[in-house]
């Protein structure tokens, strides 16, 4: 897998200033520039409009895909994506670098070693101010679709399948504009293993935070994921008989990309089961709090 990357974006200004990249005006043009059988297409289109792009790519002969999280934003979209995968034998992976993060690996090791006893609960907090993107784009219909998929995937990976106990969602308010369901999201889960999980994400927060806390029988573990590309260090705090505090580099996205492209090259297909479980729980959460999708671009104005 080598060669000059090919980029395709319908926005005329998107390719300005790009070096070392071949720009294609359409998917049809792009399909003539690359070997279809071995090319991996990274679909950066927001999830709400992903299906039509995936369908067009499949029609032009592409079969290997990397898509952003979540895999889908509603049940119908998930069903169509899975149907396309089966019908055309697609090899599709979801960007889920929290699962390959060193910090997540440390949490798995602590669980498996039972140094602190059995896991009792998980609490994840994902806050960041997102006023600009939420007011200028419509790709993510609710706050459940922005940050929550990261920590939800980790919770399922650590504690297994779960059922929804509760969900809440608020609007984003900025001056006289209201962005429905894009303020904050909260969900509570009960896993089949007995573990309870709470995930909270506030997209109107003045500060950024990406943390996860695991409560065990005999201690507590808190992890802080890197906040941005500006600093790739994670922090791990273990409270128990042998307390410790660690800071380490954790460039999870680079590690994920490297491993995923190696898997494509070796023919190892991605397992979508966890990502389907994430979508199922997100759909239940949105249905629970009445966050059914509205028409694309719909904006309310404060009275």
Domains present along the chain, CATH in parentheses: 6-94 (3.40.50.720), 97-263+272-301 (3.30.360.10)
Q: What is the pLDDT of residue 301?
A: 38
Report the alpha-carbon distance of residue 194 to residue 158 in Å, rounded. Answer: 12
Q: What is the pLDDT of residue 166?
A: 98
Q: What is the pLDDT of residue 245?
A: 98
Q: What is the pLDDT of residue 19?
A: 85
Report the alpha-carbon distance of residue 270 to residue 267 in Å, rounded. Answer: 9
Of the pLDDT bands very low, low, confident and very high (cuts 50, 70, 90), residue 297 is very low
Q: What is the pLDDT of residue 294?
A: 46
Q: Regarding predicted confidence, which is higher, 27 or 134?
A: 27
Task: Provide, rounded to the nearest whole percent, the portion of the chain with pLDDT above 70.
Answer: 95
Q: What is the pLDDT of residues 194-206, one digit of tens each?
A: 999 999 999 999 9
pLDDT at 293 over 60: no
Q: What is the pLDDT of residues 197-255, one digit of tens each?
A: 999 999 999 999 999 999 999 999 999 999 988 899 999 999 999 999 999 999 999 99
Do residues 64 and 43 make contact, with C-beta atoms less than 8 angstroms apart?
no
Q: What is the pLDDT of residue 227?
A: 93
Q: What is the pLDDT of residue 291?
A: 64
Contacts of 159 (CB under 8 A, 6+ apart): 119, 122, 191, 193, 195, 197
Q: What is the pLDDT of residues 80-97, one digit of tens each?
A: 999 999 999 999 999 999
Q: What is the pLDDT of residue 18?
A: 82
Q: What is the pLDDT of residue 2?
A: 63
Q: What is the pLDDT of residues 128-179, one digit of tens each?
A: 998 877 877 777 889 999 999 999 999 999 999 999 999 999 999 988 888 9
């Amino acid at each position: 897998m080598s060669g000059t990357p090919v980029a395709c974006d319908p926005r005329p200004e998107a390719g300005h200033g790009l070096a070392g990249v071949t720009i294609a005006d359409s998917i049809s043009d792009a399909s003539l520039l690359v070997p279809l059988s071995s090319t991996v297409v990274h679909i950066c289109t927001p999830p709400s409009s992903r299906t039509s792009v995936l369908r067009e790519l499949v029609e032009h002969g592409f079969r290997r895909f990397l898509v952003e999280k979540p895999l889908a934003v509603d049940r119908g979209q998930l069903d169509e994506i899975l149907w396309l995968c089966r019908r055309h034998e697609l090899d599709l992976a979801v960007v889920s670098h929290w699962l390959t993060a060193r910090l997540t690996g440390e949490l798995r090791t602590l669980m498996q070693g039972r140094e602190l006893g059995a896991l009792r609960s998980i609490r994840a907090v994902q806050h960041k101010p997102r006023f600009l993107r939420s007011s200028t784009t419509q790709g993510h219909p609710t706050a459940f679709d922005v940050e929550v998929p990261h920590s939800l995937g980790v919770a399922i990976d650590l504690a297994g399948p779960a059922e929804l106990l509760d969900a809440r969602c608020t609007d984003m308010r900025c001056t006289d504009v209201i962005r429905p369901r894009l303020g904050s999201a909260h969900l509570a889960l009960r896993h089949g293993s007995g573990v309870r999980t709470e995930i909270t994400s506030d997209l109107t927060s003045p500060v950024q935070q990406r943390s996860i806390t695991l409560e065990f029988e005999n201690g507590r573990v808190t992890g802080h994921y890197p906040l941005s590309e500006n600093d790739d260090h994670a922090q791990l705090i273990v409270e128990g008989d042998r307390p410790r505090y660690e800071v380490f580099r954790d460039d999870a996205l680079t590690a994920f990309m490297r491993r995923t492209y190696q898997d494509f090259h070796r023919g190892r297909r991605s397992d979508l089961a966890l990502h389907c479980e994430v979508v199922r729980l997100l759909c239940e959460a949105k249905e629970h709090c009445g966050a059914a999708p509205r028409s694309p671009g719909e904006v309310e104005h404060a009275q």
